[in-house]
Chains A and B, each alone.
Chain A
């Protein structure tokens, strides 16, 4: 076996498998213990037990809070966070194993569409995603883009690229481990102490002096997805017949995936698609169809951060401001067209379309207001509570009832096997 593959097997795959196995047992044990605890303490407050009075009420209230949080986090069987962590472990293990077994070039984490989105962050951004551009060229050379395979190019530095891929894979594994280490304390901490922001927190927050705000971007440009979420995005893209840009699916998963388990997030995206929110196209005056979601590529947290800094001269150039302004104008244009589409659908008596277009329009308007509020905020971008996350998706989910989508109501299509 290749020494690097051997090292990956010994240092990562084997311990990760062991860790996954033990975590699963631990999770089941935790779930049973909570259920047992609920029954035991519940008995204290039900006849014939005589535990009553103000102290009993206070204890009852605290226990109720605790159990509610537990139910929220682990009430439907094993903890969703740990289930996701387990899924991630399994995904990484299988992929690493496959790569070692087949001795193939390590598969890319993201589809070609994602890479294109990664490259195309915008002309005004300061960096180029060299790795993504290189991958595109490699795919062309390998003929995997469905183009003529003739004239295959021998890529200079191919060996270096393979090494880089392996390093990226290792980084993925490390992020999974970090996710695991974060997931466990989060469950216990949340369960033990349901937290709501206090007034002390609010008044303790003061705007950072401009001189202390670094000019480099601190907020992310692309959604930070786990390997599992990236795989989900690619799977959903295939499921939707490649009609929806994977970067849009990743954008949505990047927003909702932080708060809900993967399977529920997938169901929500499926619900949005099946209800016509993702493939809503707008026909312009020139008769061309444009994607409803186009401007969002330039409203990423790092773009908003750049615009905030441009307005305050933290950056030497004001390019982000122009980019965000263009995106906002794009959204405003879409609102104009959506208003027209709402009128037309109303005239046709098409209530479904009226509902979809109205939800989109209202969410876009709220997005525009949020962007302006963030850019006007006296607080610097890293102090923003939302960290530059826009409310669009959550608005649409809530108003469309897709926020309640479950894997049972929106299951993945049957494969026929």
Chain B
């Protein structure tokens, strides 16, 4: 957890209290969750978890990002899968793929790779989600973030630029 002073702990604690009492306005929810994530403030975990059901797409995806990327809590792997496969919003589905990448980075987890490969191969899925799933596969296989950036840049045409041999390995 990043080092915080006593004073900062007081601020975080008050912000958590306000969040629990529903007093943080929607426009500030995302930024407040970010602040908890940046500070690695685990006492807010339960309140952040509540936000996974928030009607706002931005709030839901931020909550998942904080729990998986900032807190790195593997328990939210199932939530990430659910987001990826079942949510009607493409941004949430892409956030689900990215959360799986955050949780299983460099693990070569077969089950997750298979799940992601199916999304990449699904021609009925929108491009942004397929692309997020493909990038997540590379992160799980072990690509360096710098390689991922270069890969993402080259990825223009889903059908031509994807390494289908690699994807098919996990189908």
A: which residues have CB within 8 A of B? 112-113, 115-117, 119-128, 130, 133-134, 136-137, 140, 145-148, 151, 153, 155-157, 284-286, 288, 290, 307, 310-311, 318, 321-322, 324-326, 328-329, 333, 336, 372
CA distance A116 to B21 in the complex (A): 19
Q: Is the CB of B23 within 8 A of A318?
A: no
Q: Is the CB of A123 within 8 A of B90?
A: no
CA distance A322 to B146 in the complex (A): 9
A123 in complex: contacting residue of B7, B37, B89, CB < 8 Å: B37
Q: Is the CB of A329 within 8 A of B37?
A: no
Residue of A nearest to B87 (CB): A286
B25 in complex: contacting residue of A147, A284, A325, CB < 8 Å: A147
What are the 5 A-B residue pairs with the smallest beta carbon separation, nearest first?
A120-B31, A318-B145, A119-B31, A123-B37, A116-B28
Instruction: Collect the chain A residues with CB atoms within 8 Å of residue B88's CB.
Output: 286
Q: Is the CB of B126 within 8 A of A285?
A: yes
Q: Is the CB of B34 within 8 A of A119?
A: yes
Q: How far is the CB of A61 from chain B (nearest CB, A)?
A: 48
Instruction: Collect the chain A residues with CB atoms within 8 Å of residue B128's CB.
Output: 329, 333
Q: How far is the CB of B81 from chain A (nearest CB, A)?
A: 19
Given contacts A140-B18, A321-B146, contact A125 B38 (CB under 8 A): yes
Tell me, yes or no, whether B45 is within 8 Å of chain A by CB: no
CA distance A322 to B35 in the complex (A): 18
Residue of A nearest to B37 (CB): A123
> What's the count of A-B pairs with C-beta under 8 Å?
113
Q: Is the CB of A123 within 8 A of B31?
A: no
Tell me, yes or no, whether B152 is within 8 Å of chain A by CB: yes
Which B16-37 residues have C-beta < 8 A from chain A? 17-18, 21, 23-25, 27-28, 30-32, 34-35, 37
B15 in complex: contacting residue of A137, A157, A318, A321, CB < 8 Å: A137
Tell me, yes or no, whether B167 is within 8 Å of chain A by CB: no
Q: Is the CB of A284 within 8 A of B90?
A: yes
Question: Known pairs A116-B30, A137-B15, A155-B14. 12 more at Cβ < 8 A?
Answer: A119-B35, A136-B24, A140-B23, A151-B21, A307-B149, A310-B145, A321-B146, A322-B145, A322-B148, A324-B149, A325-B148, A329-B128
Residue of A nearest to B27 (CB): A116
Name which of B70, B144, B149 has the most chain A CB atoms within 10 A of its CB.
Answer: B149
Q: Is the CB of A123 within 8 A of B152?
A: no
Q: How far is the CB of A238 from chain B (nearest CB, A)?
A: 16
Instruction: Collect the chain A residues with CB atoms within 8 Å of residue B66's CB.
Output: 123
Residue of B nearest to A286 (CB): B89
CA distance A329 to B148 in the complex (A): 13
Tell me, yes or no, whether B106 is within 8 Å of chain A by CB: no
Instruction: Collect the chain A residues with CB atoms within 8 Å of residue B98's CB.
Output: 326
Q: How far is the CB of B57 from chain A (nearest CB, A)?
A: 6
A311 in complex: contacting residue of B27, B127, B149, CB < 8 Å: B149
Tell me, yes or no, whether B42 is within 8 Å of chain A by CB: no
B27 in complex: contacting residue of A113, A137, A156, A336, CB < 8 Å: A113
Instruction: Collect the chain B residues with CB atoms within 8 Å of residue A288's CB.
Output: 57, 89, 91
CA distance A153 to B20 in the complex (A): 14
Q: Is the CB of B149 within 8 A of A137?
A: no
